[in-house]
């Protein structure tokens, strides 16, 4: 490789460092924009117009992935993790389970709330959207508390990885684990004992059939 790309990419370690730094910055920005002090300050300042924030936040989060994809393409190199032979079956299983968790999670969460459409409609009418959504524990949420976090981890590791892909998988896996832990604290603060009882019954990331026994919060 020559020119600027050759200066950036001098082997897997350089690609890992650059990609790790880029994804860490993205994760920090992604979390910072949705942190409670930020959202509460914006809610006070914007009033009913704050209802658009979730929708705009999701749009920005998706758009901000484009430069990261470009960086990955620029740093692309030899594969470090490859699924071949019988191991390809493992990759298929990981992605199939992830797809199922995404679909079942979408049914359980309510996509209008997740995407910000409900709050945006309320803002359009000049109304304040209800901040506290109803506590949901039906469907796949009876088996695992955070199906989308688990699905994300499975997708990250369910395909061949070169150096930037491996760096992204490591950083994002840590981010998802941290995100699940922070989400747990937020949900306990929001729903109190109802969520603590739910934690005792349903594992956080390792699915278990309802009534399977054991301490759920160990998962």
pLDDT of residue 120: 85
* Average pLDDT for the chain: 86
Mean pLDDT of the region 54-63: 92
Does residue 27 carry a pLDDT above 90?
yes
Q: Who wins on pLDDT, 5 or 158?
A: 158
- The three state secondary structure string of 11-57 is CHHHHHHHHHHHHHHHHHHHHHCCCHHHHHHHHHHHHHHHHHHHHHH
Does residue 2 carry a pLDDT above 50?
no
Please tell me the distance from the alpha carbon of residue 34 to that of residue 30, in angstroms, as a whole number: 7
> What would the pLDDT profile of 87-98 be if each residue is shown by its tens digit?
999 999 999 999
CA-CA-CA-CA torsion sign (180, 129, 50, 40): negative
Mean pLDDT of the region 8-18: 74
- The CATH number covering residue 155 comes to 1.20.120
Residues 6+ apart with CB under 8 A from 199: 145, 184, 188, 216, 217
pLDDT of residue 126: 76
Segments forming the whole domain that contains residue 142 = 3-218
> What would the pLDDT profile of 138-179 be if each residue is shown by its tens digit?
889 999 999 999 999 999 999 999 999 999 999 999 999 999
Does residue 208 carry a pLDDT above 60?
yes
State the virtual CA torsion across 218, 93, 179, 66 in degrees, nearest 10: 170
CB 164 within 8 A of CB 15: yes
Does residue 216 carry a pLDDT above 70?
no
CB atoms within 10 A of CB 105: 21
Into how many domains does the chain fold? 1
CB 184 within 8 A of CB 219: no
- Helix 163-191, helix 12-32: angle, nearest 10: 20
pLDDT of residue 131: 60
CB 75 within 8 A of CB 166: no
């Amino acid at each position: 490789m020559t020119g600027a790309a050759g200066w950036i990419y001098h082997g897997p370690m350089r690609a890992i460092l650059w990609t790790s730094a880029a994804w860490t910055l993205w994760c920090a920005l992604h979390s910072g924009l949705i942190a409670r002090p930020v959202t509460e300050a914006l809610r006070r300042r914007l009033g009913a117009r704050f209802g658009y924030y979730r929708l705009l936040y999701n749009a920005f989060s998706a758009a901000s992935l484009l430069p990261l994809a470009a960086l990955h393409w620029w740093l692309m190199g030899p594969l470090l993790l490859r699924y071949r032979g019988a191991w390809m079956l493992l990759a298929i299983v990981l992605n199939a389970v992830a797809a199922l968790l995404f679909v079942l999670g979408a049914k359980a969460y309510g996509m209008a709330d997740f995407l910000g459409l409900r709050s945006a409609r309320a803002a359009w009418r000049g109304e304040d959207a209800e901040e506290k959504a109803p506590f949901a524990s039906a469907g796949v949420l009876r088996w695992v508390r955070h199906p989308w976090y688990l699905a994300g981890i499975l997708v990250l590791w369910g395909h061949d990885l070169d150096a930037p892909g491996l760096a992204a998988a490591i950083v994002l896996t840590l981010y998802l684990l941290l995100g699940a832990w922070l989400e747990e604290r937020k949900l306990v603060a929001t729903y109190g004992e109802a969520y603590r009882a739910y934690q005792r019954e349903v594992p956080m990331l390792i699915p278990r059939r309802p009534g399977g026994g054991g301490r759920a919060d160990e998962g």
